[in-house]
């Protein structure tokens, strides 16, 4: 296995650790994807943005009080 060293902007390491604490594994996977022409899916790129509340938010009374549109008739 070869060693590759590069400089990255300040804060890059912390941002990458949020995606995967094992930086070496994360970087190996992404470099492999680049070399092999595989692109990550939109889901893979956005999965850190997705919230899974188990459906509780949409049924919760507090949520409905705050966000549900009131029908006035």
Which sequence spans correspond to the domains of the chain?
12-67
Q: What is the pLDDT along the chain (73 residues), one digit of tens a residue?
A: 888 898 999 999 999 999 889 999 999 988 888 888 777 777 777 777 776 655 555 566 776 777 766 655 4
- The number of CA neighbours under 13 Å toward the Cβ of 23 is 7
- SS3 (DSSP) at 45: helix
Whether the pTM exceeds 0.85: the reply is no
Cα(42)–Cα(32) distance, integer angstroms: 18
């Amino acid at each position: 296995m070869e060693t590759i060293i590069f400089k990255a902007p300040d804060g890059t390491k912390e941002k990458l650790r949020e995606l995967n604490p094992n930086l070496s594994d994360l970087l190996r996977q992404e470099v492999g994807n680049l070399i092999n022409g595989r692109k990550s899916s939109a889901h893979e790129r956005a999965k850190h943005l997705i919230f899974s509340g188990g459906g509780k938010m949409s049924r919760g009374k507090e949520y409905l009080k705050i966000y549900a549109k009131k029908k006035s008739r």
